[in-house]
């Protein structure tokens, strides 16, 4: 299994310095420690190992250091702020790894923006040298970008002219949707390998402030303190998150699956299927914000979601041929719903708020699975609250017509767990009848299988006699279809209604990047990405398709 856990004591690529309300985060990538051997991480270029540490930093600041209000992201290297994703890593990686790497990187950038929106943690990017590609995409994820005004410091998105690919971790989308850069200027900028410096970068809206080199550090720190003074105080004491490690369920055949405290993953490699089973709370849970802080990270709502988050990443990177996820739930519906009621009641508490945000992020990561997802709701299911949210995130819901197989909506379904494009899963499900989604969210009913079917919350209501055969056939049929066609179909169907910046990054930008990665103009023997750094120029197939 892949270890996604990181800790400041083991960081090789980032330096985190805490100073009261302001934290300094400096990128200092160690070239000799890539995620996989075979390439060097020169000029602060990054790969998955660098992003794993960055994801840990953001999570650590949110939970472990609530006193921090502003983080200043900078570089510890004089020659470069960040050269972007490592080109040699991209050239040597398999196509699935490249796509999953970009997705993880996107989610990490989004978690930084999410911290700004929901956790009172603002970010300033201090660019003192060349800031290219993924480096500028990291800057774009920050609230403000400050640039040294000299002849060397510039921001750029050089992927199109240099590599024949896209700035696939949100660059194209953020400069238009987030920074509102004019489309014609964005067109010029994205085809200039050298990028823009100083006054023009500022006038075009690509940065927020420019400073002379002699003033730069002083001005950035002054702005960080000014911004921190505008933000409310949360707490002086944080909560330290322990590592999340699943254990193989068979020591000799890890392909059989893995398990955590509240999450189990069973792998059937022959059927190309994984079954995720989620377990609800078994012990009494805190009922106040103070009690949650005292209980710490082991509380069910946080531990279960962190385990599911890790399980999703394990499936992404370690089980590429698994094409179908069957979701099952177990536990006490009443106990789960009581947890959610207490979380909502205490959401003004900083730690409870972070738990709710973790739940929302995990649900969104689940939605973005590039796998078919079928929910199996049987007599032993605990299809309530956040488990029902995950059920509604699946492509189909199979419900057993048994009085014990009840569904129950919880208070989190009324907007606290939004999808990537900003609406609830109820709203996404009932686009044709928004009033029905609103009614269910407000009433939060408990429903028998028949009532759930009438309310539109299941795809198929199956008789107990037919359950085994119908579900088996459905799973086998799905696993037999083209994975490429299914990925495209599912991504198109899962997110109905209007798009926003976040959903465009995954649904539009990532889809195009995925396609471009397979084209000879980028990754063929004579493609731009393959020939990067070679004396020969790329050769393109000039047909537009």
152 with 211, same domain? yes
* Residue of 410, 431, 293, 294 whose CA lies nearest to 363: 410
383 with 487, same domain? yes
pLDDT score recorded for residue 119 = 97
Whether residue 255 is predicted with pLDDT greater than 80 in this model: the reply is no
What domain range includes position 411?
Answer: 247-492
pLDDT score recorded for residue 250 = 72
Total of domains in the chain: 2
- Average pLDDT of span 514-543: 93
pLDDT score recorded for residue 66 = 98
Starting from the edge strand earliest in sequence, which strands make up the sheet with 407-408, in order?
A: 383-384, 407-408, 446-447
- Average pLDDT of span 422-447: 97
Residue 467 in domain: yes
Whether residue 249 is predicted with pLDDT greater than 90 in this model: the reply is no
pLDDT score recorded for residue 251 = 53
* Residue of 209, 214, 220 whose CA lies nearest to 73: 220
Residue 179 in domain: yes
Mean pLDDT for the chain? 96
439 with 388, same domain? yes
427 with 459, same domain? yes
Whether residue 257 is predicted with pLDDT greater than 70 in this model: the reply is yes
- Percent of the chain topping pLDDT 70: 99
Residue 138 in domain: yes
198 with 278, same domain? no
Residue 545 in domain: no
pLDDT digit string (tens) for 3-16? 999 999 999 999 99
- Average pLDDT of span 529-541: 92
User: Given the structure tokens 């109820």, which residue do they identify?
Assistant: 426
- Average pLDDT of span 396-416: 97
Whether residue 340 is predicted with pLDDT greater than 90 in this model: the reply is yes
Bridge partners of residue 461, in order along the sequence: 399
Residue 73 in domain: yes
461 band by pLDDT with thresholds 50, 70 and 90 = very high
Cβ proximity of 178 and 136 under 8 Å: no
pLDDT digit string (tens) for 258-289? 999 999 999 999 999 999 999 999 999 999 99
188 with 321, same domain? no
CA distance 14 to 28: 5
Residue 123 in domain: yes
Whether residue 467 is predicted with pLDDT greater than 50 in this model: the reply is yes
Domain of residue 383, CATH code: 3.90.226.10
* Residue of 49, 99, 4 whose CA lies nearest to 514: 99
342 with 484, same domain? yes
216 with 311, same domain? no
Cβ proximity of 439 and 433 under 8 Å: no
pLDDT digit string (tens) for 158-199? 999 999 999 999 999 999 999 999 999 999 999 999 999 999
pLDDT digit string (tens) for 117-160? 999 999 999 999 999 999 999 999 999 999 999 999 999 999 99
Residue 35 in domain: yes
């Amino acid at each position: 299994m892949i270890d996604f856990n990181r800790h400041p004591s083991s960081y090789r690529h980032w330096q985190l310095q805490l100073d009261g309300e302001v934290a300094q985060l400096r990128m200092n990538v160690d070239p000799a420690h890539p995620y996989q051997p075979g390439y060097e991480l020169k000029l602060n270029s990054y790969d998955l190992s660098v992003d794993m540490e960055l994801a840990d930093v953001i999570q650590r600041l949110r939970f472990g250091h609530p006193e921090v209000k502003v983080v200043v992201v900078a570089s510890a290297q004089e020659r470069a702020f960040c050269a972007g994703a490592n080109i040699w890593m991209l050239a040597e990686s398999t196509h699935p790894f490249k796509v999953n790497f970009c997705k993880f990187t996107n989610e990490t950038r989004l978690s930084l923006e999410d911290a700004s929106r929901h956790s009172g943690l603002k970010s300033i990017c201090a660019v003192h040298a060349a800031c290219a590609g993924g480096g500028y995409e990291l800057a774009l994820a920050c609230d403000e970008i400050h640039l040294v005004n000299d002849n060397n410091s510039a921001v750029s998105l050089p992927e199109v002219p240099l590599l024949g690919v896209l700035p696939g971790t949100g660059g194209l989308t953020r400069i238009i949707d987030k920074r509102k850069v004019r489309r014609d200027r964005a067109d010029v900028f994205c085809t200039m390998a050298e990028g823009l410096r100083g006054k023009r970068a500022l006038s075009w809206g690509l940065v927020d402030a420019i400073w002379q080199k002699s003033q730069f550090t002083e001005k950035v720190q002054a702005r960080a303190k000014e911004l921190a003074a505008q933000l409310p105080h949360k707490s002086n004491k944080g909560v330290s998150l322990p590592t999340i490690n699943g254990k193989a369920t068979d020591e000799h055949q890890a392909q059989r699956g893995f398990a955590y405290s509240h999450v189990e993953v069973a792998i059937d490699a022959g059927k190309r299927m994984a079954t995720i089973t989620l377990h609800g709370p078994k012990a009494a849970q805190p009922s106040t914000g103070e009690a949650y802080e005292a209980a710490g990270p082991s509380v069910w709502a946080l531990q279960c979601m962190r385990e599911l988050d890790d399980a999703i990443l394990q499936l992404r990177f370690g089980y590429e041929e698994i094409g179908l996820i069957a979701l099952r739930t177990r536990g006490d519906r009443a106990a789960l719903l009581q947890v959610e009621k207490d979380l909502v009641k205490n959401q003004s508490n900083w730690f409870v708020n972070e738990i709710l945000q973790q739940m929302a992020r995990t649900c969104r990561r689940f939605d973005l699975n590039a796998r078919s997802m079928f929910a199996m709701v049987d007599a032993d299911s605990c299809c309530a609250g956040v488990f029902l949210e995950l059920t509604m995130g699946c492509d189909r819901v199979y419900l057993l017509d048994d009085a014990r197989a009840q569904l129950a909506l919880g208070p989190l379904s009324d907007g606290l767990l939004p999808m990537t494009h900003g609406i609830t899963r109820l709203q996404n499900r009932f686009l044709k009848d928004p009033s029905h989604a609103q009614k269910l969210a407000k009433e939060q009913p408990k429903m028998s299988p028949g009532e759930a079917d009438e309310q539109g919350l299941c795809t198929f209501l199956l008789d107990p006699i037919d359950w085994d055969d119908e579900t088996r056939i459905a799973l086998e049929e799905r696993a037999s279809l083209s994975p490429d066609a299914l990925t495209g179909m599912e991504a198109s169907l899962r997110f109905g209604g209007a798009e926003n910046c976040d959903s465009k990054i995954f649904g539009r930008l990532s889809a195009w990047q995925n396609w471009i990665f397979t084209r000879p103009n980028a990754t063929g023997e004579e493609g731009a990405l393959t020939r990067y750094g070679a004396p020969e120029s790329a050769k393109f197939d000039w047909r537009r398709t």
